[in-house]
Amino acid sequence: MANFTLNQATASRLEAAEKNYVDGNFGYWTFRVSGSDGESKFWVDHDTAEGANTATIKAAVLCHMTSSEDFYVEVTPPVVSGSLNTAVIGLLS
């Protein structure tokens, strides 16, 4: 999806806002959002300050969602299934 409208962005849900440290010093934020388009998106933010409060974080997320197309879209993992055939266990002894 291209840029979100403000209504689309505000209808999205912030799932995580994580501070990331490099060599013990604050480096950047990672934001993860469940978008109103049904996709989970995340991105790295180097501009928001380490001590940002909730209002600042929400504003940064809304700004990014409405002005950028730079998102990482999480890939849905494949469904993996298997079965065990217990009838053959021990046949090699």
Burial class (CB in 10 A: 0-12, 13-18, 19+), 8: middle
Grade residue 83 by pLDDT with cuts at 50, 70 and 90.
low
pLDDT in tens, 23-58: 889 998 888 888 888 888 888 899 999 999 999 999
CA 53 to chain centre: 20
Burial class (CB in 10 A: 0-12, 13-18, 19+), 86: exposed
pTM of the predicted structure, to 2 decimals: 0.70
Range with lowest mean pLDDT among 33-37, 69-73, 77-81: 77-81
**Given this model, what pLDDT does residue 93 score?**
39
Separation of alpha carbons 43 and 30, rounded Å: 6
**Given this model, what pLDDT does residue 1 score?**
47
